[in-house]
Amino acid sequence: MTKIKDYCYNCSRDTNCSVLAKEKNSIRNYSSGVESYDLLSILRCDGCDTLFVRRDLYDSTDIGTSEDYLFWDAQTFHWPSNPKFNFNEEHFLLAPKDDENLNKIKSIMQQVCIAISNEIHTLAAIGIRAIVEATYDALNLGNLRNLEKKIDALGEAGLITKIERETLHLLRLVGNSAAHEVWTPSYQDITNLYKVAQRLVEKSLLDKFIQINLAEKAKLAADRIGKK
Ligand SMILES: [Zn+2]
């Protein structure tokens, strides 16, 4: 039986799954030369025996020669769908409400969570890229233009670990025009990448507000003790 790795919503992780059935539906639009495949599979998680349906939608574009097709990323959908990926507001609660940079980053993070919930992983990855760039810009670390150098600068500033730095470099593959370099992140990939970006935002921009809040409370408490 064919095995593939997929995200099991019951185990909440990527697991080995058995492909119980597979059906391919091919549609060709002769006038535009665009061909699409709809690949439906019934999968069973080897860990917990949960059954689910996976749909991969492939789109190809004829780039000139008859045998040379540029394959786009497959868009993957599941039924039942993966759990909703919710934005965690907690860290933003103590941050000033009128900080333009923070509001922009928060808005992108919310959009990324919506994209992940709807299994639009390539779009989510582009959003995560924007979170990293906006965080870099908010930190005033210098006027670097490309993402590769920005990620390295965040690493050198001690704001991301060596492994997080290597992980974030994956983002550069998203949106790359060369077909063979296009990378389609899985649910697990995209949620892990989001968590790295979220940690970066918390550590570099938000944690200080938690500390300021605690310091103010400590000062008030000390003043009260002093008055007694
Ligand atoms: Zn499972």
Q: What is the DSSP letter of 177?
A: S
The answer to whether the predicted template modeling score (pTM) of the entire model surpasses 0.85 is no
* CA 170 to ligand 1 centroid distance, Å: 27
Q: What is the DSSP letter of 170?
A: G
Please enumerate in sequence order all residues whose Cβ is within 8 A of that of 119, keeping only pairs 6 or more positions apart, or say none. Answer: 75, 76, 77, 78, 81, 82, 187
* CA 13 to ligand 1 centroid distance, Å: 8
* CA 23 to ligand 1 centroid distance, Å: 22
User: How many other C-beta atoms can be found within 10 angstroms of the C-beta atom of residue 167?
Assistant: 18
Q: Are the CB atoms for 57 and 24 separated by under 8 Å?
A: no
pLDDT tens series, the chain, 228 aa: 899 999 998 898 889 999 999 998 887 776 766 677 788 999 999 999 999 999 988 766 544 333 434 455 567 889 888 778 889 988 899 999 999 999 999 999 999 999 999 888 888 999 999 999 999 999 999 999 899 999 999 999 999 999 999 999 988 877 665 544 566 788 888 999 999 999 999 999 999 998 888 999 999 999 988 877
Beta bridge partners of 148: none
The rounded distance, in Å, linking the Cα atoms of 142 and 153 is 9
* The three-state (H, E, C) secondary structure of 107-163, written as one string: HHHHHHHHHHHCCCHHHHHHHHHHHHHHHHHHCCCCCCCCHHHHHHHHHHCCCCCHH
User: How many other C-beta atoms can be found within 10 angstroms of the C-beta atom of residue 76?
Assistant: 17
* CA 79 to ligand 1 centroid distance, Å: 14
The rounded distance, in Å, linking the Cα atoms of 33 and 141 is 47
The rounded distance, in Å, linking the Cα atoms of 121 and 117 is 9
Q: Are the CB atoms for 54 and 40 separated by under 8 Å?
A: yes
| Residue extents of the structural domains in the chain | 3-79, 90-227
CATH of domain 90-227: 1.20.120
* CA 143 to ligand 1 centroid distance, Å: 46
Query: Measured between alpha carbons, how far is residue 63 from residues 6, 18, 70, 194 in Å?
Result: 31, 35, 7, 33
* CA 182 to ligand 1 centroid distance, Å: 28
